[in-house]
Structure 1
């Protein structure tokens, strides 16, 4: 699937679900702990997908591509999150980034 179609499909989701979450992570106060809790919950159930760098559609008035902030907004926090995952989840692997 082309990146443009994948991005369109992701942004078309009306809300989060048990297996889909959107995490902006604009600042440390916005939820590193909540993100880790979501990851652990998904790992302990049926799994799921977390889309980083995109606002949750139910927590913003922004629509479509306006919800995309990208991980560059706070790359250090994403790197810290990756380090924690590698430390505590041996089978963790980073998936590709869309641009």
Structure 2
């Protein structure tokens, strides 16, 4: 979800500005054009298909809620954003044993 929004912990970070379905990578480059940071976006369904194609069985998906009383801003995350949508998805998967 966070791919859709600007990296802004304030109200500007609540405005959807990118398509959730845009899978082009986000790339930062140094002054010579060499990539220094690359982040690839995949949809929720993409991630599930990647896991199952690799032979994993999906057991759960955990989307942690913003903790009550946590008021610290971290990067683009703030209580304002964190209370509205998750910044993390944890895929709990297991690869079956063969025997």
TM-score by length of 2: 0.25
Bigger helix fraction: 1
Pick the structure with greater CA Rg. Answer: 2
TM-score (norm 1): 0.25
